[in-house]
Chains A and B, each alone.
Chain A
Amino acid sequence: AQSVAQPEDQVNVAEGNPLTVKCTYSVSGNPYLFWYVQYPNRGLQFLLKYITGDNLVKGSYGFEAEFNKSQTSFHLKKPSALVSDSALYFCAVRDNTGRRALTFGSGTRLQVQP
């Protein structure tokens, strides 16, 4: 069965500094990987996805993610954090069975301090 690990419950970063939110995964077959963001009292919003091709994926709001097959990682990054980036971030992997559902990590809360 597939799984996703987000080893940090919370990441704190100062505004203007680069940020990284870590994610590692386990899945049989080709990995289809996603990042979602959840703002307070809101649903999950799609940020970006990796299917194939370039290991650096660019997404919404200036976020990008780096896929590393050998380390089975898909870390979310942003060169310069904003206070408005403070939210809960989820990494997910699509299962390669017929369900094609997503398996989510436990989430990482990003806190950007002014």
Chain B
Amino acid sequence: DADVTQTPRNRITKTGKRIMLECSQTKGHDRMYWYRQDPGLGLRLIYYSFDVKDINKGEISDGYSVSRQAQAKFSLSLESAIPNQTALYFCATSGPEALTDTQYFGPGTRLTVL
């Protein structure tokens, strides 16, 4: 089984709809991240969490919210989806390698907002 899983893998929705993307991990890591990938822009940080009670905004948090339900689960919500949120979304985790912070990525969720 994969260490970092994301559901759904693909989603098509309409403008104005609320949508939630879920991430689960079995690596036992405390730190979890949400990124979005757009062609030619690489990955950009949306939100990150260092533990259940610690949630922080990244560079592009507007229009998104997150919930850390447990150490292993970190969800990303789009309260009212808009077309420019069409992207590939990745969850990542990192653990107690304190000096290196190697991040491990899920397979991604491809979101299309019509």
Contacts and interface: CB of A to CB of B under 8 A. Distances in A.
B101 A43 contact: no
B56 interface: yes
Contacts, number: 60
A106 B42 contact: yes
Interface in A97-114: 99-107
B6 to A, nearest CB: 8
Given A43-B107, A100-B31, A90 B94 contact: no
Contacts of A44: 43, 90, 92, 105
A43 B94 contact: no
Secondary structure call for the B interface: strand
* Size category, B interface: 20 to 34
Interface residues of A, number: 24
Interface in B89-114: 90, 92, 94, 99-108
Interface of A: 4, 9, 32, 34, 36, 41-46, 49, 51, 90, 94, 99-107
Interface of B: 4, 31, 33, 35, 40-45, 48, 56, 58, 90, 92, 94, 99-108
